[in-house]
Amino acid sequence: MVVDERLERLYEKVDLVKGAGDPSRGKLCVMSFVAFLAGESHSDQPRTASPLIRSLAIRINDAIPRAMRQELKPFVPRIIGTNDGYDAERAAMLRAAVDLEILPRVCRDFLATGASRRWRRMAEFRKLSGRLFDITHASEPPLDGEPACKLAEAIASLLCFCGAEAPDLAARRWYWEKAIEILDRACDIGEERPPVAFNAARMERLEQILVHRSAVERGKAITGRTTSYLRAVLSRAANAL
């Protein structure tokens, strides 16, 4: 399909960054990319997105390493249309993942050996893990609305913290991949959605912006190399005098 090919080209050219980004520079976050393709104004709070998924995605987008952040691009069309009333089911999935997958791994990596007792960020770790435990084990667990969003944010915050602070590379990778997996599972919940009808004119405009930006960057690179070469030549000539 033509739209799919165009979307693939955009994936190659758009750079996912922290914050909402700037479409004129080809830099977007995952949620502002959603807003753009959904035909909404530039924002990281698109109306088309599930509030719970938005809370997950924003925290993950801003904390994950840059190279892994680019792996979030395929989620963009999947997030469109998720503001569908299924956040209670998504919250139930998150609560189960916390008890069965996330907290057991966190305890093993950060608490079981006792190696982190004098760890400089222990207070921050206790705050994040304690907050998540309190939310998931409250007498009235979050089911929808703002409480569900707070649950999503708490899960994403702890996973991202552990992804940065886990004791070894394999463990850090596990937390980053788990964060992406949780987002993936949240997007899967809900009724089957029809194929997204992207705004072709918007996509074409963004392509044109990116092509122009690429040409400008190439021009700057050529100018920089030429300037460096001329400076070297002039320096050698001056030294020869």
Residue 24: predicted pLDDT:
82
Which of the pair, 98 or 235, is modelled with greater confidence?
98
Residue type, 4: D
* Segment 75-103, tens digit of pLDDT: 999 999 999 999 999 999 999 999 999 99
Residue 115 has pLDDT above 60, yes or no: no
Which of the pair, 126 or 57, is modelled with greater confidence?
57
List the strands of the sheet with 21-22, edge to edge: 15-16, 27-28, 21-22
Residue 2: predicted pLDDT:
47
Average pLDDT over residues 6-33: 88
Which of the pair, 155 or 5, is modelled with greater confidence?
155
Residue 194 has pLDDT above 80, yes or no: no
Average pLDDT over residues 22-33: 91
Q: What is the mean pLDDT of the chain?
A: 85
CA–CA gap between residue 14 and residue 28 (Å, rounded)? 7
Average pLDDT over residues 192-211: 74
Average pLDDT over residues 160-183: 94
CA–CA gap between residue 78 and residue 189 (Å, rounded)? 11
Residue 141: predicted pLDDT:
66
Q: pTM of the entire structure?
A: 0.81
To which residue do tokens 């997950």 refer? Answer: 56
Least confident of 42-46, 69-73, 137-141, 147-151: 137-141
Which of the pair, 65 or 194, is modelled with greater confidence?
65
Residue 216 has pLDDT above 60, yes or no: no
Residue 238 has pLDDT above 90, yes or no: no
Taking only Cα atoms into account, the Rg of the chain, rounded to an integer number of angstroms, comes to 22
Check if the beta carbon of residue 62 is closer than 8 Å to that of residue 22.
no
Average pLDDT over residues 28-53: 94
User: Which of left, alpha, beta for 85 (phi over 0: left; psi -120 to 50: alpha)?
Assistant: left
The ranges assigned to domains in the chain are 2-198
Residue 230 — very low, low, confident or very high, per pLDDT cuts 50/70/90?
A: confident
Angle (CA) 116-117-118 rounded to 5° is 90
Average pLDDT over residues 101-108: 93
Check if the beta carbon of residue 156 is closer than 8 Å to that of residue 129.
no
Average pLDDT over residues 194-208: 73
